[in-house]
Amino acid sequence: MGVGMGAVGLASLLSDAGLFSSAARAAGADVASTINPLAPRGPHFAPRARRVIHFFLNGGPSHVDTFDPKPMLSKYDGKPLPSGPLRTERKTGAAFGSPFKFRQYGQSGLPISDLFAKTAQHADDLCVIRSMKAQVPNHEPSLMLMNCGDGQMARPSMGAWITYGLGSENQNLPGFIAMCPGGYPIKETENWASAFLPGAFQGTFIDTNHTQIEKLIANIRNDHLPLDRQRQQLDLLRQINRDHANQRGPDAQLEARIQSFELAYRMQMEAADAFDLSKEPQKIREAYGSHVHGRQTLIARRLLERGVRFVQLWHGASQPWDHHDNIQGAHAGLAAQLDQPISALIADLKNRGMFEDTLIIIGGEFGRTPTVEVNDSGKSKLGRDHNPYGFSVVLAGGGVKGGTAVGATDEFGFAAVENVVEVHDLHATILHLLGFDHEKFTYRYAGRDFRLTDVHGRVVREVIA
C-alpha cells in the first residue's frame, strides 16, 4: 500500500503545481493532474470564500423593481423619458415607475423593494452592485457571458473554472452542481459546460422537481445487488486489483482507479443522505418553505456543507423572470418563491458558521428597461424589455462588504453610469474572493492561456470587506 499511496500523494501534489506553473507542466504534471481532478487544491492567496451558491434568476429580473430604487422614474411615470429610450430588443414607451415600494433596512439603510422584504432583513449583509453591465439585450449571449465569460464561443463556465481551480472538498459528490426545477434553462447544458476543461469539472445537472435519488444522480443505486453483497463483490475486486498492481509495480493510475471504487461505494450512501431532506429538523424545513425553491435551497445548503464547491440554483426551465408584460403580478409571484428560501439560507449559514466563507450570488443575465414595453400598436403591456446597459447583482457572505450599494445607474435606471461593473469585472471579483488572481488563473488550450475573464476584468474593491 505504501508505495501506491505515495504515488497518489505525489500525483495530487503535482496536480497543484500543474494548475499554475508551466514549469510543472513541462515536467509532465498535466498527466498527473488529471488522475484525480477533484482533489482539493489551494488558490493563489488566502481566500475569503471557499464555496459558492449562485441563485440564477434566469430571464432577467428588473433591477428598478428590486434592488435599485429610482424615485425619478416614479416622477416621470407615464411620461416619455427626457433622454429617450435606448435601443433594446423590443419597443418600449413611457417611463414606468416601479409598482413596488422600496424601504430602507438595517443599520445601513440599504433600500430594497417589498419583493424581497424577507431577504432585506439581512440588508446589512448584502452588497448590491447596481452598475452591472452586459453586452446585448438578448438572453442567449447574456447567459453565456454571465456564466462563461463569452457571449458566443464555447468556453468553460464559472463553476467549471472554480472547480478546476479548487477541486472539491468532498470526493463522494460532484464538485459543481446545477439545479433547476422542471428542466433546462435556455442554452441548456452550455450554462454549466466545461468546454475545453476536463469533463469532471462540468456542472452535474439535477432537475429538482424529482425527488428520487436515482433521478438526481446517475447510477447511484444498484437495483440488482443488496449493499452487503455489493460490499463483498467490491472486496473481491479490490483483491484482484491489488494482485494485479503488485505484479506491475507502483502506478498512480492503477491506484487511483482502485480508490475510486471505494469512493463510489461511499458516495451511494452519502449522496442519498445529502439529498434526503427528511434528515433536517422540521423547524429548518419550515424556515425554507415547502415550495420547490425551499427544497432546492435546502438541498444546496446540505451539499455545500458536505464540501461541494459550487452550486447554481436556477429559477426554472426556460426563462421564468422574462416579464415583458404584467410585471407587477409576475415578478411578485416569482420573488415570493425565492425570498423566503434566500432569507432562510442566510440565517441558516450564519447559525452554522458557514456564512463567512460562503459566497452568495443573486442575479440574472441582465436587467429590464425602466420604460414600459409596448405592443405593435404602441399600447402598454405593463411589462419591461431586456436591458443589458444597467442592472443589479447582489452578493453576500464570504469577504463581501455588507450593507453597501456599489456603483449606480442613471437617474432612471437605464444604464450603469457610475463605477460601471462589466460581467468580466464581476468574475474577477468573485475569483478574487475565492483567492485567485484572475489574470493568472489560466488553462492552456489551443496554444493559448485561457482565462474566465478573457483579456478583461478588474477586481471591484468596493465589494470587498
Partner 1 sequence: MKSCAKKQAVKVSELQWVALLVVACCAARGLSAAELAGDSEFFEKRIRPLLVERCYECHSDRTGKAKGGLRLDTREGLMKGGDSGPAISVAQPQQSMLLRAIRHEERELKMPPKLKDRLSKEQSNDFESWIRSGAEFPVKHENLTGRTWRQIADSHWAFQPLQATLAPKVKDATWPRSGIDRYILAKLEENNLRPSPPADPRALIRRATFDLHGLPPTPEEVEAFVKECEAENRNSELLVPGADSKSGKPDSSNTSARDTTLEKRAVPDAHSRLIDRLLASPRYGERWGRHWLDLARYSDTKGYVYGDREERFFVHAHAYRDWVIRAFNEDLPYDRFLVLQIAADQLLPDKNVESLPPRHSMKSASESDLAAIGFLTIGRRFLGVTHDIIDDRIDTLTRTTLGLTVSCARCHDHKFDPIPTDDYYSLYGVFMNTTERTLPLTTTPPDTEAYRGFEKELRSREAKLRDSFAGKRREWSDRVRTMSEDYLLALLAADKLWTEEFYAFVQPNEVNPPFVRQWQSYLHRRNQAGFDAIFEPWHRLYQLPKQSFTENAAPILAGLLNAKEPALNGRVASALGAVKIASMEDLARMYGKLLVSTDEAWRELRKKDGSAAALVDHADEALRMVLYASDSPVQVPDRSFYEAEFFFDEGTRVHLAKLASQIDQWLIQSLGATPHAVILEDLPSSSMRTARVFRRGNPAMPGKEVDRQFLELLSGKDRKPFAHDAGRLDLAQAIIDPKNPLTARVMVNRIWQHHFSSGLVSTPSDFGTRSALPTHPELLDHLATQFIREGWSIKQMHRSIMTSAVYRQSSEIRDQSSQLRRDTVPPVAQKEVETRDFSLIDPTNKLLSHFSRRRLDFESMRDAMLMVSGELNGAMGGRPIDLFKQPFTTRRSVYGLIDRQFFPGELRIFDVASPDLHSPTRPVTTIPQQALFFMNSAFIKERAKALVERVEREVAKSENSNPKSDTAVPLAISRLYLHLYQRKPSAGELALGIRFIESMRSQEPELAPTPAPKPSAWVYGYGELDENAGRVKTFEKLPHFSGQAWQGGSAWPDGKLGWVQLTAEGGHAGNDLKHAAIRRWIAPRDMAVSITSTIQHERQPGDGIRAFVVHGPVAKVGEVKPGDAADSALGSWTLHNQNVEANIASLKVRQGDTIDFIVDIRGNLNNDDFIWKVLIAQADIAAGATKDANRPQSTWASHAEFTGVVSPPPKPLSAWEMYAQALMLSNEFMFVD
Binding to partner 1 (CB under 8 A) within 176-195 occurs at 181-182, 187-190, 193-195
- The contact pattern for partner 1, residues 90-129, with x = CB under 8 A and - = no contact, is xx--------------------------------------
Q: Does 249 bind partner 1 (CB under 8 A)?
A: yes
Instruction: Retrieve residue 134's grid coordinates.
Output: 452586459
Residues 67-86 that bind partner 1 (CB under 8 A): none
Instruction: Retrieve residue 262's grid coordinates.
Output: 471505494
First to last CA, the chain: 46
Instruction: Retrieve residue 46's grid coordinates.
Output: 488566502
Instruction: Retrieve residue 459's grid coordinates.
Output: 477586481
Q: How far is the CB of 222 from partner 1 (least distance, A)?
A: 4
Q: How far is the CB of 230 from partner 1 (least distance, A)?
A: 7
- From 106, 169, 196, 356, residue interacting with partner 1 (rule: CB under 8 A): 196
Q: How far is the CB of 281 from partner 1 (least distance, A)?
A: 23
- According to DSSP, the β-strands at 421-422 and 92-95 are unpaired
Q: Does 248 bind partner 1 (CB under 8 A)?
A: yes
Q: How far is the CB of 206 from partner 1 (least distance, A)?
A: 11
- The contact pattern for partner 1, residues 18-57, with x = CB under 8 A and - = no contact, is -xxx-xx-xxxx-x--xxxxx--xxxxxx-----------
CB 53, CB 349: distance < 8 Å: no
- Return the H-helix or E-strand segment holding 197: none
Residue in 278, 363, 313, 305 with CA at minimum distance from that of residue 205? 313
The total number of residues written for the chain in this structure:
465
Residue (104 or 222) nearer to partner 1, CB: 222
CB 259, CB 267: distance < 8 Å: no
Q: How far is the CB of 87 from partner 1 (least distance, A)?
A: 8
Residue (82 or 243) nearer to partner 1, CB: 243
DSSP 118-132: TGGGGGGGEEEEEEE
Burial of 303 (0-12, 13-18, 19+ CB in 10 A): buried
Query: Could you tell me which stretch among 64-72, 94-102, 350-358, 445-453 binds partner 1 (CB under 8 A)?
Result: 445-453
Q: Does 237 bind partner 1 (CB under 8 A)?
A: yes
Residues 281-320 that bind partner 1 (CB under 8 A): 291-292, 316-318, 320
Q: Does 226 bind partner 1 (CB under 8 A)?
A: yes
- According to DSSP, the β-strands at 358-363 and 51-56 are parallel
Q: How far apart are CA 143 and CA 139, in angstroms?
A: 6
- From 1, 353, 378, 448, residue interacting with partner 1 (rule: CB under 8 A): 448
